[in-house]
């Protein structure tokens, strides 16, 4: 459930992205928005621009060339250029129909060749008509030929419209894919370390303004080097992938699971204190310990140790917070592994 009292949390951003995706898919303004969005004129303006782009593109694809545009940007410029070309082409076609055979098209590739060829044929036909009287059958043939060429030109315009629409959709999908690849670890599907640095800094800044805790779990697979040496890196990758899938399924929408280094993973919990985070870490540890992996008929099980630290209880800055979680992880490792330890702070409160 979206918390209107705390507009800066990650869940709120997820909701905003969902609203934008709905507008891109439907071309319509959502029926209802929380007050913090519905009262934000810039956000509603953004949604209106997206709807305008959607409707403008759809209108062009359907051959409606008299649409007014009120949007800006590179995509808007491309659509505006396409509209201008099609409207100019329509005007040129009308001029040809009125007997102006001086019209030429040089801005639409192969279509330009077909259009100019048609105009030239009509021009030649007109000149020949002034010089001699064509036989009725010849006149009919020329008229039929012109009609067929005109139909071919209309089909070509429709084909161009369909291609432009498909290209726009492909560009949008590629942009989304590139954005996702830039922040995700390819092996585990978790966020990468760069994304962790950017996001944790932002979460701590929000927490300082709004006075709520931010906790982290630093996870390290137990005996991972021995696992790789004994069964091969392929099995090690399989274990890491399974841990990544577990974290993606078992954490909340607002939580931020990231691959920190080789077998180390950090999970950020906005607005969660150290005690609750430790309970969640225990839940994840037990769930992972119950998993088993099959390698050439041999069943393998793996465990992890975890350290917990929290802002502002244990640290105020990102590096200090991660260091505190790492120290707690070392405690968990040194006291037997396959366990969770909370950083023991010596700070004076």
Task: Evaluate the omega torsion of the peptide bond into residue 176 and state whether it is cis, within 30 degrees of 0.
Answer: no
Q: What's the burial of 107, exposed, middle or buried (CB within 10 Å: 0-12/13-18/19+)? A: exposed
Alpha helices for 301-340 (secondary structure H): 318-334
The verdict on whether 263 is a catalytic residue reads: yes
Q: What is the pTM of this model?
A: 0.51
Looking at residue 1, its pLDDT comes to: 47
| Helices assigned H by DSSP within 106-212 | 110-131, 136-183, 193-210
Pairing of strands 256-259, 264-270: antiparallel
Tell me the domain boundaries of the chain. Answer: 10-180, 193-342
**Pairing of the two strands 256-259 and 293-295:** unpaired
Residues with Cβ within 8 Å of residue 342, at least 6 apart in sequence = 274, 275, 278, 307, 308, 309, 328
Domain 193-342 has CATH 3.30.2130.30: no
pLDDT of the chain, 349 residues: tens digit per residue = 445 555 567 787 787 888 888 777 777 878 778 887 777 877 777 777 777 777 777 777 777 777 666 666 666 677 777 777 777 777 778 887 888 878 787 766 767 787 777 877 877 776 766 666 556 666 677 778 888 887 888 888 888 888 877 776 766 665 555 555 578 999 999 999 999 999 999 999 999 999 999 999 999 999 999 999 988 899 999 999 999 999 999 999 999 999 998 899 999 999 999 999 999 999 999 999 999 888 878 888 999 999 999 999 999 999 999 999 999 999 999 999 999 999 997 554 4
User: Quick one: tokens of 200?
Assistant: 């944790």
SS3 assignment, position 50 = helix
Catalytic residue among 263, 264, 317, 319: 263
Give the start-end residues of each E strand in 260-314. 264-270, 293-295, 298-300, 304-311
Phi-psi sector, 297: left (phi>0), alpha (psi -120 to 50), beta = left
Q: How far apart are the first and last CA of the chain?
A: 33
Least Cα distance to 282 among 319, 308, 245 occurs for 308
Instruction: Give dist(CA 282, CA 121) in Å, integer.
Output: 82
Decide: 338 and 290 in contact? Cβ < 8 Å. Answer: no
């Amino acid at each position: 459930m979206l918390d209107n009292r705390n507009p800066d949390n990650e869940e709120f951003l997820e909701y905003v992205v969902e609203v934008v995706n709905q507008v891109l898919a439907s071309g319509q303004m959502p029926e209802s928005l929380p007050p913090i969005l519905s009262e934000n004129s810039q956000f509603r303006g953004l949604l209106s621009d997206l709807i305008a782009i959607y409707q403008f593109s759809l209108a062009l694809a359907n051959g409606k060339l008299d649409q007014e545009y009120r949007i800006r940007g590179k995509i808007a410029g491309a659509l505006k250029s396409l509209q201008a070309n099609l409207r100019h082409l329509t005007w040129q076609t009308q001029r040809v129909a009125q007997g102006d055979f001086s019209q030429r098209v040089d801005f639409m590739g192969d279509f330009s060749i077909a259009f100019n060829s048609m105009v030239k044929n009509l021009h030649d036909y007109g000149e020949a008509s002034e010089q001699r009287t064509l036989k009725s059958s010849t006149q009919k043939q020329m008229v039929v030929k012109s009609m067929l060429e005109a139909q071919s030109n209309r089909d070509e315009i429709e084909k161009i419209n369909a291609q432009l629409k498909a290209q726009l959709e492909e560009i949008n999908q590629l942009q989304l894919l590139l954005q996702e690849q830039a922040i995700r670890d390819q092996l585990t599907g978790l966020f990468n370390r760069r994304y962790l640095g950017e996001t944790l800094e932002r979460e701590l800044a929000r927490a300082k303004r709004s006075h709520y805790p931010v906790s982290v779990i630093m996870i390290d697979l137990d005996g991972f080097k021995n696992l790789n040496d004994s069964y091969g890196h392929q099995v090690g990758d399989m274990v890491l992938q399974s841990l990544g899938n577990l974290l993606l399924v078992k954490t909340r929408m607002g939580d931020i699971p990231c691959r920190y280094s080789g077998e180390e993973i950090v999970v950020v919990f906005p607005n969660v204190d150290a005690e609750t985070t430790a309970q969640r870490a225990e839940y994840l540890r037990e769930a992972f310990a119950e998993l088993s992996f099959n390698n050439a008929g041999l069943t393998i099980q793996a465990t992890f140790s975890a350290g917990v630290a929290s802002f502002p209880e244990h640290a105020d800055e990102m590096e200090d917070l991660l260091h505190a979680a790492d120290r707690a992880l070392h405690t968990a490792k040194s006291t037997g592994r396959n366990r969770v330890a909370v950083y023991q702070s010596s700070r004076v409160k």
